[in-house]
Amino acid sequence: MPFTPGDPNINRNGRPKGAANRITEELREAFAMLLENNLEQYEIWLMRIAEDDPARALDLAIKISERFVPMLSRQEITAKDGQDLFKNVQFKFGAPQQEDDNESYEDFDINNL
């Protein structure tokens, strides 16, 4: 069927933004089935890699998971005036120590990350 200008059956808006095409969806489903059918081997492979290089095993697991779990975009949260909301946030780690009835924690400053 040749293209004819003004044909009312033509989708002039195209595919919605972010929608995967049919081939991409089929490949994603096929890869998911491959992983699902080989979960036990996948765990064994990751454990073998982790014995020598735990960081590499974690990196591989993350890369594979990115195919199935959508990545979240990073968003910056600020106060109304644009200032950092977390500038005065401090975390206290560890159990309190009994020194002169004062709680003593290891200080953690989020600004030093």
pLDDT (tens digit per residue) in 23-69: 888 888 888 888 889 889 989 999 999 999 999 999 998 888 887 77
| Per-residue model confidence (pLDDT) at position 92 | 76
Proportion of the chain above pLDDT 90, given as a percent: 17
Overall pTM > 0.85: no
Q: Where are the domains of the chain?
A: 22-65
Three-class secondary structure of residue 9 per DSSP: coil
Rounded-to-integer distance, Cα 85 and Cα 90, Å: 12
- How many beta carbons lie within 10 A of that of residue 81, not counting itself? 5
Rounded-to-integer distance, Cα 86 and Cα 49, Å: 38
Average pLDDT over residues 77-105: 70
Considering only residues 91 and 25, tell me which one the structure prediction assigns the higher pLDDT: 25
Chain-centroid distance, C-alpha 8 = 41
- How many beta carbons lie within 10 A of that of residue 89, not counting itself? 11
